[in-house]
Amino acid sequence: MRSLGLVWLSLRLGVLNALQYRVDFFIQLFQSVIGLGTALAAIAVVFSQTDELGGWTRDELVALVGVFFLVGGLVNVVIRPSMERLMEGVRLGTLDFTLTKPADAQILVSTRQVDVWRLVDVVLGSVVIVIAITRLGERVGVEHATAFGLVLIAGMAIIYSFLLVLATLAFWLVRLENILVIFATMYEAGRWPVGLYPPWLRLALTVVVPVAFAITVPVETLVGRLEPATLVTTVVLAVVFLVGSRWFWKFGLRHYTGASA
Amino acid sequence: MTAASIRVTDLRKTYQVPEREGGLRAAAGSIFRRSTKSVPAVAGITFDVSPGEIVGFLGPNGAGKTTTLKMLSGLLYPTSGEATALGHVPWRRETDFLRRMTLIMGQRNQLAWDIPVIDSFELNRAIYGVSRAEYNVRLDELVELLDVGDLVRKPVRNLSLGERMKCEIAGSLLHRPEMLFLDEPTIGLDVTMQRRIRSFIAEYNARTGATTLLTSHYMGDVEALCRRVIVIHHGSLLYDGDLTGLVERFAPRKTISIDLEPDQPALEPGVLAGLAGGPDAVVQHGAERVTLRVPRSETAAVTTRLLGRVAVRDLVVEEPPIDEVIDLVFAAGPSDAAERAETAAAQPVA
């Protein structure tokens, strides 16, 4: 309970900080609309030639784009900026203050920075998902929607844990900003179902950078194509990732030396 | 006698620092083979601090002050050795310990940059679980003591360095810590602001009895606040005791300045040297002003001899300025510091 209160207050602070820069909203809106338009246009082009792409229909792919924006938005609102801030904190030594606080340092660093205007992506993604669901019609039942929600949360947990592990590496390798850029690049590949890619890339997107679990799997759940086994695997994997990343984070903390004054 | 607030036994911290020759070839080579070398930042120090004490940590840059402070505030794991603070091993970072102490660093800030100070305070209130009522009382008290009434509603980026520091301090004390680690709290501030912060720290200590460890490059801070100083150099403890003792040990000579009455026969150099106890003791010999530097124990005898022999208008006996003493301490390594200090003090400074 106390942790939740802390998350809320920390996020609130981040939002207040970000609200100082209103112009960013319009820039973000512009950027997001262009991005979404391009993604939908690509789907339109593909489906002007064919009715199906690797077993996926047009509406299913629209749903995928929606999830891509939703998850990407959620990652970019809090997780990515907070992880960047964490790595900067390790390099500059500003993490010192966080570590002297009688609160869970992982919670504090994970909610440190809020890029509030990225919520535009979350909103646009949600709208696209709703539109896709409407068009898919009766194929999406209540149980599918519930499972979708569950898998989405699990997928977010996996991505969060993955980014936390990457950021924790900063305790050993001090200059490491680029590692998050690599993640962003790999994330772009999630625009399309991972099944469309050659086996090696599919494997990479599932195991190395777990984008598949955050985007493809939730959409498969939504359209009712997911095997129950995969659902269970995803949830179990999320728990394993959360526990593992927390252990790694604590291990990394022992190696924190701070920047000397 | 209560138990010590801080107890440090043979504490060591060795950093592994990457090392390579300059130049492109070495840089390229180091991508694959990184050679490191061990740098002992703190090389085995032992001391106790009693509850309520204000102890000043002195040492040149890189002496190991900040590293020690960071180990005691739980930020760093030591390489070896033991320490307890408020009954806890600091680097276990137990909630009870963290709740009762604070770390303030003059060179870093923790307040969120773009929003009013008070919003950052609110987060600290939640982190430390301070009740609303208590928070309001403490905030009022700190606002008054530090004179930051109007400042707390301004965004941090609109504050001057001194104003920001005052707000940082207020934010770090909202949970009324019993132990303060202050790492150069007055760095970069103007003299008035330095004095203000000093008197605040003294006041906080008097009101709450908080044990305080302070590092500073400004001797003013140390003179004003710390009866006891710990001098660290190259990671080793060089001196631990009161400030006056430090002066006596490292600056064993006092300065005697005399203004002579103008209407009297000039003093022969030989005569003056005789009065001062040797030609080395004469620092300056003018027609109307004479400066001597004599061993502490002979100050009274020399003064008496002078007063009996010449007509004196004014006479002042002084300790060397503390800054100078510190210079002498740091000019040497741990082993020969005292010796070197002795020699250096004997050198006439024209």
What ipTM is given for this predicted complex? 0.76
B222: exposed, middle or buried (Cβ count in 10 Å: 0-12, 13-18, 19+): buried
Q: Do the beta carbons of residue B169 and residue B185 sit within 8 Å?
A: yes
First to last CA, chain B: 49
Which residue among B97, B113, B122 places its CB closest to the CB of A9? Answer: B122
- The mean predicted confidence, pLDDT, of chain B is 85
**Confidence at residue B339, expressed as pLDDT on a 0 to 100 scale:** 46
B304 or A258, which is more confident?
B304
Helix (H, G, I), strand (E, B), or coil: what is residue B277? coil
A with B: how many residue pairs have Cβ under 8 Å apart? 77
**Confidence at residue B345, expressed as pLDDT on a 0 to 100 scale:** 43
Domain with CATH 3.40.50.300 in chain B: 6-247
Q: Is it the case that residue B335 has pLDDT exceeding 70?
A: no
CATH of B252-346, one of 3.30.70, 3.40.720, 3.30.1490, 2.60.40: 3.30.70
**Confidence at residue A245, expressed as pLDDT on a 0 to 100 scale:** 96
Q: Round to whole Å and give the CA distance between B303 and B254.
A: 11
* Interface check B221 vs A, CB under 8 A: no
- The mean predicted confidence, pLDDT, of chain A is 87
Amino acid at A245: S
Q: Round to whole Å and give the CA distance between A42 and A36.
A: 10
**Confidence at residue B189, expressed as pLDDT on a 0 to 100 scale:** 85
From residue B281, give the alpha-carbon distance in Å to each of B156, B265, B286, B290, B293: 55, 21, 14, 11, 5
B11 φ/ψ angles, rounded to the nearest 5 degrees: -80, 135
Q: Do A13 and B123 touch (CB under 8 A)?
A: yes
**Confidence at residue A174, expressed as pLDDT on a 0 to 100 scale:** 66
B262 or B73, which is more confident?
B73
The pLDDT confidence band at residue B333, using thresholds 50, 70 and 90, is low
Contacts of B24 (CB under 8 A, 6+ apart): none
The pLDDT confidence band at residue B39, using thresholds 50, 70 and 90, is confident
| pLDDT one-digit tens code per residue, A43-99 | 889 888 888 888 888 888 999 999 999 999 999 999 999 999 898 888 888 888 888
- B183 contacts in chain A (CB < 8 Å): 261
Classify residue A259 by its DSSP letter. -
Q: Do B112 and A96 touch (CB under 8 A)?
A: no
Contacts of B300 (CB under 8 A, 6+ apart): none
B294 token code pair: 């004599």
Give the best residue of A97, A250, A256, A260 to mutate against chain B (max B CB count within 10 A).
A97
A254 or B345, which is more confident?
A254
Mind telling me how many Å the CA of A161 is from chain B's nearest CA? Answer: 23
**Confidence at residue A259, expressed as pLDDT on a 0 to 100 scale:** 55
Q: Is it the case that residue A5 has pLDDT exceeding 90?
A: no
Helix count and strand count (H, E) for chain A: 13, 0
Which residue among A10, A21, A261 places its CB closest to the CB of B107? Answer: A261
For residue A33, the surrounding DSSP H or E stretch is helix A23-49
Q: Round to whole Å and give the CA distance between A194 and B6.
A: 58
- How much of chain B, in percent, has pLDDT values that exceed 90? 33
What is the mean predicted confidence (pLDDT) over B295-304?
Answer: 88
Q: Is it the case that residue B206 has pLDDT exceeding 70?
A: yes
Helix (H, G, I), strand (E, B), or coil: what is residue A89? helix
**Confidence at residue B61, expressed as pLDDT on a 0 to 100 scale:** 79
Q: Do the beta carbons of residue A151 and residue A221 sit within 8 Å?
A: yes
Tally the C-alpha atoms within 13 A of residue A27's C-alpha that lie toward its C-beta. 6
Q: Does the domain made of B6-247 have the CATH classification 3.40.50.300? A: yes
